[in-house]
Amino acid sequence: MKTGIDAITFDVAKLHLPIKTLAKARNIEPEKLEKGLGLLKMTLPDAHQDSVVFGANALTKLIQQTNLNPADIARIYVGTESGIDSAKPIGSYLVGLMEQRYGDGTLSHCDVTDMTFACIGGVDALQNCLDFVRLNPDKKAIVVTTDIAKYDLESTGEYTQGAGAVALLVSANPRIMAIDNHWAVSTKGVFDFFKPYRTLSKWHIMGNDFNDPWFGHLERVLEINKAQPIFDGQYSNQCYTDRTREAYLRFKELTQTKGSLYKNWESIIMHLPYAYQGRRMFAELFALDAETPLLTGTEPRSEQKEKIKTISKSTNYKAFVNQKLQPAEVASSLIGNLYTGSIFMGLLSTLTEHAAKDNDGNGKKFGFLAYGSGSKSKVFEGTLQQGWAEVVQKAQLFETLQQSHEIDFDTYLKLHKKEQRNSIQHPKNEWILERIEKETPNLYGARYYKWVE
C-alpha cells in the first residue's frame, strides 16, 4: 500500500515589496540580492492577517478543492514556528474556524496539535501523519504549515522575509506523490537561529526599582516574546550544510544506494530560506557523492572551501542546478521565506514548472533535504504518481502570485512596526483576524476570526 501526498494548496500574503525597492533603501546593490541570492519579492502580512489566518485559508482551500468531508479528517497537524499562544495551538484555532463553516462539532473527532522545530516542523508533522495513515489506511490526515518570517529592520535577514501557509492532504493511494518509509536524520543542539524569551526589568518602564503591579504582572522582570530571531547567518549556513550532509550520507547508507544518490532523483527539494540557498549548500554534496568524487571530505577545511567554490562555478554543476534545483526556486524568488512551508512550496513550484512543460514525471523519484535550525535535517524521497499534474494545476500557483499587490517602502515600514491599523487590501473570500479581546479578564488576549465573503 502506498501513502503520501494526495493534494496540496497554499495561501501567501497578498502584499509584496520588490527586493529592488528594499535594496535601494538599504544602500545595497540590487544585483547582489536579485542575482546573488535569487530574490525578487518579499511577501508581507496585511493588518488583518496572522499565522492562523494563513493556515485557515490554506486548509479551507484544501477542503473545498478536494470536496473533503470533515468527517473523513482524522487529524490536522500543524508545523509552525509562528505560534500565537504558549498553550493553545494553532491547530485548535483551525478546528474552531472550520466548524464555523461546516457546523459545530463536525471536527470534534479530529486529533490536532502543533509541532515546532524551526523550519523542519512541517516535515515532522508530515512524517507523523504518514505513519498514522499507514496504520489507518481508511483515514485521512492533513498537514498545515503556516509561518510569518519576520526579521529586524536593517538586519542581514531582512530581505528574506515572507509569509504564508501550505496545506497537504495525506492519504493512502495518493494522487500526487507516494512517500517511501525511509527517513535519515541528523540532529545537534546548537544556537544558529532561535527566538528566546527576552527579559525586561520594570525599572525600564516605570523609572523606579519598586515591584509595583503592571497590567497584571507581579514579577519584577517581564518576559517578551519577539517574532524576530537571534541568528548568526554564516554559522547557520554551516549548520545547514553539516546536518544536511550527515543526513544525506545516512540516507544513502540506509537505502544501500550504490553510486551517486542524487542521480536517482529527478528533482531535489530543499528548505529555501532564500531562493539560491539550496544551490549554494548542495555543491559540497555534488562533489562528495559524484561517480568519481571531487572531494574526499578529509581535506583541510580551507582547501575544501576553495574546491567547493570552484565546483559551484563549473559548467557541470550549473547544469545540475538548472535541471534538479532551479524549478523549486521560482516560487521562493516571488514569495520569500515561509519557514516550515518553504520545502513544500518548493515541491509545488517544481511540480508546477514540470506540468507547464508537459514533463511526464510518472514514476520519477524526488529527493527531499529538509532543515530546521537548532538543529536537525531529515532526508527522504517520494515517487510521482499517475495523474499528479492534473491535481497540481488546480493550485493555480503562479496565477495567484501574479495578483500580489505591490507596496512602497514607507508602507512596508508601517506594517513591520505594526503602525498600519487598517487593511491595505480589502479582504475577500478569506479568513481575517477580527479582534483581540482586551477587556474581559478571563478572555484577555483571546483572538477572534471570521470569514469575509
160-198 pLDDT, tens per residue?
999 999 999 999 999 999 999 999 999 999 999 999 999
Query: Does 210 lie in the same domain as 89?
Result: no
294: confidence class by pLDDT, cuts 50, 70, 90:
confident
Strand partners, 168: 8, 143
pLDDT at residue 296, rounded to an integer? 82
Q: Looking at residue 275, which CATH number applies to its domain?
A: 3.40.47.10
Cα distance between residue 386 and residue 384, in whole Å: 7
Q: At 11, give phi and psi (nearest 5°).
A: -150, 120
DSSP element (H, E) containing 278: helix 277-288
Residue pair 295/287 in contact by the 8 Å Cβ criterion: yes
**Where among 206, 225, 244 does a domain terminate?**
225
Region 257-274: mean pLDDT is 97
Report CA-CA distances (Å) from 226 to 195, 230, 383: 7, 10, 40
The pLDDT, as a whole number, for residue 43 is 98
- For residues 184 and 239, the answer to whether their CB atoms sit within 8 Å is no
Q: In terms of domains, do 163 and 221 share one?
A: no
Same domain membership, residue 255 and residue 221: no
Q: Which domain holds residue 407?
A: 3-192+232-452
The more confident residue out of 123 and 295 is 123
Q: Are residues 294 and 328 in the same domain?
A: yes
More confident residue, 81 or 305: 81
Q: What is the pLDDT of residue 195?
A: 96
Alpha carbon 133 to its chain centroid, in Å, reads 23
Maximum pairwise Cα distance, the chain: 71
83 and 66 in a common domain: yes
Return d(Cα 424, Cα 289) in angstroms, integer.
49
How confident is residue 416, by pLDDT bands cut at 50, 70 and 90? very high
Considering the domain architecture, whether residues 79 and 199 belong to the same structural domain is answered as no
Percent of the residues in the chain that have a pLDDT greater than 70, as a whole number: 100
The reported pLDDT for the residue numbered 437 is 97
Task: State whether 208 and 357 are in the same domain.
Answer: no
Cβ contact 349:328 at 8 Å:
yes
- Please state, as a whole number, how many other Cβ atoms lie within 10 Å of the Cβ of residue 284: 23
| φ/ψ of residue 281, rounded to 5 | -80, -30
Q: Are residues 95 and 21 in the same domain?
A: yes
SS3 256: coil
Same domain, 85 and 141: yes
CA 55/CA 146 separation, integer angstroms: 5
Question: How far is CA 345 from each of CA 182, 204, 314, 331, 339, rounded to the nearest angstrom?
Answer: 22, 43, 28, 7, 10
**Mean of the per-residue pLDDT values for the chain?**
96
Per-residue confidence (pLDDT) for residue 298, from 0 to 100:
84
Tell me: pLDDT of 223 over 90. no
Q: Answer yes or no: is pLDDT of 213 > 90.
A: no
Q: Are residues 183 and 200 in the same domain?
A: no
Which of the residue ranges 117-126, 328-337, 353-362 would you say has the lowest mean pLDDT?
353-362
Helix, strand and coil in the chain, % to nearest 5: 40, 25, 35
> Which of 40-49, 274-283, 286-295 bottoms out in mean pLDDT, i.e. has the lowest?
286-295
pLDDT at 188: 98
Q: Say whether pLDDT at 207 is over 90.
A: no
Using the predicted structure, report yes or no on whether residue 293 has a pLDDT greater than 90.
no
Q: In the 8-state DSSP scheme, what is residue 196? A: P
Question: Residue 288 pLDDT > 90, yes or no?
Answer: yes
Please check whether residues 209 and 172 belong to one and the same domain.
Answer: no
Q: Looking at residue 292, what is its pLDDT?
A: 87
Taking the C-alpha atoms of residue 59 and residue 54, their distance in angstroms, rounded to an integer, is: 9
Q: Which of the four pLDDT bands, split at 50, 70 and 90, describes residue 210?
A: confident
The mean pLDDT of 388-415, rounded to a whole number, is 97
Contact criterion met (CB below 8 Å) for 342 and 146: no
User: Where are the extended beta strands (E) located within 355-404?
Assistant: 365-372, 376-384
199 and 188 in one domain?
no
Give pTM, 2 decimals. 0.96
Contact 410, 424 (CB under 8 A): no
Q: How many domains does the chain have?
A: 2
Give residue 193's pLDDT. Answer: 97
What is the spatial distance between Cα 135 and Cα 147, in angstroms, rounded to a whole number?
A: 29
The answer on pLDDT for 7 being more than 90 is yes
